[in-house]
Amino acid sequence: MRIVGSAVGQDGRTNGIMAPNGKAQELVAKKALDAAGVDPVSVGYVEAHATSTPVGDPVEATAMSNVYGKGREAGNPCLIGSIKPNVGHLEAGAGVMGFMKAIMAVNKGLVSPQSNLNKLNSRVNWEAAGMQVVREATQWKDKNTIRRAGVCSYGYGGTVSHAIVEEFNDNRGGFPVLEQMNGEAKDEMTILTFSAPQEKRLASQAEALASWILGDGMQHSLSSIATTLAIRRGHHDYRAAVIASSHEKAAEALRAFASDSDSSVAVSRRVVSSNDSLGTVWVFSGHGAQ
């Protein structure tokens, strides 16, 4: 499973701060598709924002129809639904819930029905929309080789965002970042991070890491070492980082840090932990902070 494209925008001037802008919703969806490099017709399901408002739902449905409903073969509409009737509007968490539903649908090949739906919105021309509301659990038998979904998420004040997710397929090509990590790119700077519970122990950590890099670490690319340090190790309050383009330069920078020598390729800071007492912060966000 992976995100292949996304876009975020602002809907500009509308009839009111909470009024939707269908053109902006269309534009951000098209930008996400462009970023993904996929045809709208290849998207089989759209997870809508769908707040069940008299104005918002028809505007969004029409916007998604203009993006995903055009050019589709008869009998192959783009499915559309929303998780909000199941869990309510979770405000700041609403977007991620819809995102999770879309991921599950793509992963399982099963689209769950729209909950508590008795009658379709009459302000949407469903017959010509090229879209179909999911009214019962539907097996995703997409004609395309890859199941793909679009996810809408809109915020109070005019923020509009859209993401394209699809099931993983090796034939589509790998992840550039991972491919880069597995290679031995020369003269490319890499960030190596490390930490310690006390500041004085950072030096010994740096020295130990330098020794390992010039020993067993030579069997691994510098990028893979950096990745392991960043996401596979615990992070204490006292943290440091060095940048280097080779194993030798990394060890040199680490040892310079350990000896407290001036270095333009090393930095250290203390991160404030949850145990520190910093007092109370009051936030007055007005109408809301979705």
The encoded tokens of residue 265 equal: 């390729």
Three-state DSSP state, 217 = helix
Give a yes or no: residue 289 inside a domain.
no
Binned at pLDDT 50, 70 and 90, residue 171 comes out as low
Residues 134 and 68 reside in one and the same domain: yes
Question: How far apart, in Å, are the Cα atoms of 217 and each of 59, 226, 239, 240?
Answer: 56, 11, 21, 19
CATH of the domain at 208: 3.30.70.3290
Are 140 and 234 found together in one domain? no
Instruction: Tell me, yes or no, whether 184 and 155 share the same domain.
Output: no
Q: Are residues 136 and 221 located together in one domain of the fold?
A: no
278 within domain boundaries: no
Six-digit token string for 19: 């009024």
- Residue 49 sits in the same domain as residue 136: yes
Residue 74 — pLDDT band, cuts 50, 70, 90? Answer: confident
Domain ends where: 157, 172, 187? 172
pLDDT number for residue 170: 58
Q: Could you tell me if 208 and 146 lie in one domain?
A: no
Instruction: Tell me whether residue 288 is in a domain.
Output: no
In a domain, 290, yes or no: no
- The number of distinct structural domains making up the chain is 2
Write down the H helix ranges in the chain. Answer: 22-36, 56-64, 84-87, 94-108, 126-129, 176-182, 201-213, 222-231, 247-258
Helix or strand or coil: residue 93?
Answer: helix
> Is residue 287 one of the residues assigned to a domain?
no
The predicted pLDDT at position 179 comes to 42
**Residue 177 pLDDT grade (very low, low, confident, very high; cuts 50, 70, 90):** very low
Closest CA to 45 of 140, 121, 136: 140
Rounded distance between C-alpha atoms, residue 141 and residue 147, angstroms: 9
**Average pLDDT of the chain, as a whole number:** 87
Can you read off the two tokens belonging to residue 13? 């001037």
pLDDT, tens only, 245-254: 999 999 999 9
Same domain, yes or no: 221 and 158:
no
Report if residue 133 sits inside a domain. Answer: yes
Q: Are 153 and 1 in contact (CB under 8 A)?
A: no
End-to-end CA distance of the chain: 27
Same domain, 46 and 152: yes
Calculate what percentage of the chain has a pLDDT beyond 70. 89
Residue 159 belongs to domain with CATH number: 3.40.47.10
Tell whether 30 and 84 lie within a shared domain. Answer: yes
Are 156 and 205 contained in the same domain?
Answer: no
Instruction: Check: CB of residue 240 under 8 Å from CB of residue 255.
Output: no
Parent domain of 45: 2-172
Is the same domain home to 197 and 129? no
Contact 180, 186 (CB under 8 A): no
Nearest to 83 by CA among 43, 114, 129, 41: 114
19 located within any domain: yes
281 belongs to a structural domain: no
- 145 shares its domain with 232: no
The pLDDT, as a whole number, for residue 181 is: 41
> pLDDT tens digit string along 32-61?
999 999 999 999 999 999 988 888 999 999
